[in-house]
Amino acid sequence: MNLALTDLLLLAALMIGAALFWRAQRIRETALRVTRRHCEREEVLLLDQTVGLKRLRLRRDGEGRLRLWRFYEFEFTVTGGERYRGETLVAGDRVVRVTLPPHRFSPEPDQLH
pLDDT at residue 102, rounded to an integer: 87
pLDDT at residue 87, rounded to an integer: 97
Instruction: Show the low-confidence residues of the chain (pLDDT under 70).
Output: 1, 106-113
pLDDT at residue 103, rounded to an integer: 85
- What is the number of H-type helices and E-type strands within the chain? 1, 4
pLDDT at residue 15, rounded to an integer: 97
3-state secondary structure of 82: coil
Strand partners, 69: 57, 91
